[in-house]
Amino acid sequence: MFIKDLLIKKERLVSFEIFPPNKNFSIEKLYNVINKLSDYNPDFISVTYGAAGNRNYNYTLEIASYIKENLGIESMPHLTCITSTKDKINDTVKEAVDKNLKNILALRGDLPDDPDFDFPNPLQFEYASDLVGHIKKDNNICVAGACYPEGHINSSSFKEDMNNLKYKVDMGTDFLITQLFFDNNYFYNMLEEFDKLNINVPVMAGIMPVTNSKQINRIANLCGAKIPNKLIKLINKYENDKKSMFLAGTNYACEQINDIIDNSSSSIHLYIMNNPQIAKGILNNISI
Ligand code: FAD
């Protein structure tokens, strides 16, 4: 099913984001995780594509297909374009269609760290909007895009990023998922900006519970999310107590989600870091 139709049919969706296997996380372990996640009835599960320095692109479609075919849960592979040729993108989209996948999260991808990186020449997909337009041109697929409540780190201003986002939506983006954020005011401010710019597609708030004090600084640095004092205090208090950090971090995320439910019509996308306990901890404590 197209997720854009689910977003119309149901008042509020809850989805999970998972990542493919890496050197610390085997495919067998991941399938176990996915099987457990089905107990929590997510509306869909999205699967990242080479995110956060992981260059393992091979499993994304396979995992998305497993979720849909074996568990009967809608799925959405992510697809990045900045380092890809048109042929590679066409092959990947065709494979997704052949696997009966109906949704794709179209992304630019992070710029490679290597200043001498050999980009495809000509560069056919400089921005996610190029990918959105390309997929939509020849395929009946629901296409999602990313948005950034604090502005994207490569943009010189929030305003500039919002204008670029408006163009991405006009190119055919069916709905948006936000980057993680820890202060809801950024999210509400972005929704106000959407109203001004006539960005009318549904928005899913991307929430990541801080359950591990070491990982959070790296993630926040990577995406530029600011960590409010209240959360810094919790991280400092529980940095050597894993169990309490897990509880405090999921509670903080639940407070964020319940506030979003009270103040907007947005759906919720959970960055669960391949951990079913995070899904459980959140879903037991939110008012959806
Ligand atoms: P874009 O929408 O192209 O924006 C990138 C930058 O370019 C922004 O600063 C924007 O303002 C600017 N821009 C856009 N259009 C124009 C234009 N026409 N002219 C000038 N400037 C423009 N990364 C992965 O590698 N794999 C994943 O699976 C993955 N999943 C993600 C899931 C979500 C929900 C989110 C929020 C991010 C994800 N990312 C992933 C990270 C993402 O790839 C990076 O944030 C990347 O830097 C930007 O991708 P984008 O699609 O938002 O890019």
C-alpha 231/C-alpha 248 separation (Å) is: 9
Buried b (16+ CB within 10 A) or exposed e, 108-145: bbbeeeeeeeeeeeeebbebbbbbbbbbbeeeebbbbb
Q: Tens digit of pLDDT for each residue in 115-137?
A: 899 999 999 999 999 999 999 99
Question: Which protein residue's CA is at the shortest distance from atom 26 of ligand 1?
Answer: 51
CA 177 to chain centre: 6
Q: Region 4-29: what's the mean pLDDT?
A: 94
List % helix, strand, coil for the chain (3-state, nearest 5).
45, 15, 40
Q: How far is the CA of 165 from the centre of ligand 1 (A)?
A: 10
Q: Tens digit of pLDDT for each residue in 186-196?
A: 999 999 999 99
Q: To test the ligand 1 pocket, which listed residue (108, 148, 187, 267) has its Cβ within 8 A of the most ligand atoms?
A: 108
- Mean pLDDT estimate for the chain: 95
CA neighbor of 246 nearest in space, from 238, 257, 255, 254: 238
Domains of the chain: 3-283 (3.20.20.220)
Residue 7 · residue 201 · CB < 8 Å:
no
Q: Which residues belong to the active site?
A: 17
Indicate whether residue 80 lines ligand 1 (CB < 6 A): yes
**pLDDT value at position 82?**
95
Q: Tens digit of pLDDT for each residue in 103-112?
A: 999 999 988 8
Residue 79 · residue 104 · CB < 8 Å:
yes
Proportion of the chain above pLDDT 90, given as a percent: 88
- On the question of pLDDT at 86 being above 90, the answer is yes
Indicate whether residue 129 lines ligand 1 (CB < 6 A): yes
Q: Region 231-245: what's the mean pLDDT?
A: 94
Indicate whether residue 107 lines ligand 1 (CB < 6 A): yes
Amino acid letter, residue 69: E
**pLDDT value at position 229?**
96
C-alpha 192/C-alpha 184 separation (Å) is: 13
**pLDDT value at position 55?**
61
Least confident residue range of 96-110, 185-199, 206-220? 206-220
Q: Which two tokens stand for residue 206?
A: 């991307």
**pLDDT value at position 13?**
98
**pLDDT value at position 213?**
84
C-alpha 141/C-alpha 24 separation (Å) is: 33
Indicate whether residue 143 lines ligand 1 (CB < 6 A): no
Residue 151: pLDDT band with limits 50, 70, 90: very high
